[in-house]
Amino acid sequence: MNGSKLLQQMFGLTLVVLLLVGCGGAPAGSTPTVAGKIERDGQPVIDSEVTLVLVVETGDGESQSTQTNTKGEFVFEDVVPGTYYLVAAAELEGHAQCSTTSPGFDMLTVSAEKKDTGAPVTLAMATNSENPFQVKSSDQLTKDIIIRCE
């Protein structure tokens, strides 16, 4: 087989792979999303409030919130391109010291008692407010938050 024909076949194969796999990023025309999941000690954190906050030069901008589903997953769709930080809050049974292994996130935990029952509870909040991230046009970002408690 001559070099020219081999080059044509390789180009054709590369084109097919690019069409099947894509060139990275999201399909043309899609809108940005930020999604992820929250887990505590390997288990999903259900009904946790997650807030996506737009950072602006003069302080915090608009925000939107959602709840995690039964798999601990959350998604923000149609996100306007910009710089954001993410805050996740969870109510965990009992008193615990919690940390996160998720890059860019810090963990704040507060031990308390439930007002109605007096049962011990830990309020945990993971935030990346010191490490905001960029959302660009057509980004499909994943931000998983892994919580470890003792």
> Considering the domain boundaries, does residue 56 fall inside one?
yes
39: Cβ contacts below 8 Å, ≥ 6 apart: 45, 72, 144, 145, 146, 147
> Considering the domain boundaries, does residue 89 fall inside one?
yes
Cβ atoms of 89 and 45 within 8 Å: the answer is: no
Q: What is the pLDDT of residue 59?
A: 59
> Considering the domain boundaries, does residue 110 fall inside one?
yes
What whole-number distance in Å separates Cα of residue 33 and Cα of residue 63? 14
> Considering the domain boundaries, does residue 3 fall inside one?
no
HEC string of the chain equals CCHHHHHHHHHHHHHHHHHHHCCCCCCCCCCCEEEEEEEECCEECCCCEEEEEEEECCEEEEEEEEECCCCCEEEECCCCCEEEEEEEEEEEECCCCEEECCCCCEEEEEEEECCCCCCEEEEEEEECCCCCEEECCCCEEECCEEEEEC
Q: What is the pLDDT of residue 57?
A: 60
> Where residue 80 sits, what CATH number does that domain have?
2.60.40.10
> Considering the domain boundaries, does residue 8 fall inside one?
no
**What is the extent of the structural domain holding 89?**
28-149
Instruction: Express each pLDDT in 70-128 by its tens digit.
Output: 999 999 999 988 888 899 988 888 877 888 888 888 888 888 888 888 888 888 888 88
What's the number of domains the chain is made of? 1
What whole-number distance in Å separates Cα of residue 64 and Cα of residue 60? 12
Q: pLDDT at residue 134 above 50?
A: yes
> Considering the domain boundaries, does residue 5 fall inside one?
no
Cβ atoms of 104 and 128 within 8 Å: the answer is: yes
Instruction: Express each pLDDT in 22-42 by its tens digit.
Output: 333 445 457 899 999 999 888
* Nearest CA-CA partner of 52 in 79, 85, 10, 74: 85
> Considering the domain boundaries, does residue 10 fall inside one?
no
> Considering the domain boundaries, does residue 58 fall inside one?
yes
Q: What is the pLDDT of residue 66?
A: 94
